[in-house]
Amino acid sequence: MDPIDEAIIVCVQRNARATYAEIGRAANLSASSAKRRLDRLVAIGSIRGFTAIVDPQVLAWRTEAFVEVYCRANPTPAELGCALGDIPEVVEACTVSGAADAVVHVLAENITHLEQAIQRIRSAAPVERTESVIVLSRLIERPRT
């Protein structure tokens, strides 16, 4: 990974739909060189995919919670990720140190929808129990780059 690759990655992280010309400008390359470099980064797995980030407000999902997940036995992070991955309200999940096995960030339309999502989390194969906290207001929110 050299500075040119890093510039390409930063550019597509900011805008996954950037044109090759835009990527090239960001990395001081021609559009065709930027395409070759980007294709190589994808081929070697440095870039695993491109995505759209949807504002949850557009979906009217304004109810937010953090759910601590406690598991039976000792599932691998991959097993737990697979179990939670099909629940659309789960927007982020992390394994953590401490008593809980994972913390899951959940977005829902309202409390009823949140309760249904938490029930689906509880029904996931390795999950034994959960503890939830509902977000009242966001104090700081910084974009990730």
Write b or e for each residue in 12-51: b if 16 or more Cβ atoms lie within 10 A of its Cβ, otherwise e. beeeeebebebbbbbbebeeeebbebbeebeeeeebeeee
For residue 127, what are the β-bridge partners?
71
Pairwise CA distance, residues 128 & 96, whole Å:
16
Write b or e for each residue in 72-103: b if 16 or more Cβ atoms lie within 10 A of its Cβ, otherwise e. eeebeeeebeebbeebebbeebeeeeeebbbb
63-134 belongs to CATH 3.20.20.10: no
Structure-block tokens of residue 53 = 């980030």
Structure-block tokens of residue 99 = 């008593």
**Total-model pTM:** 0.67
- Boundaries of every domain in the chain: 3-43, 63-134
42-94 pLDDT tens trace:
999 999 988 877 776 777 888 999 999 999 988 999 999 999 999 999 999 99
90-129 pLDDT tens trace:
999 999 999 999 999 999 999 999 999 999 999 998 999 9
Given the structure tokens 């980030």, which residue do they identify? 53
Closest among 35, 44, 34, 33 to 1, alpha carbons compared: 44
3-43 belongs to CATH 2.60.40: no
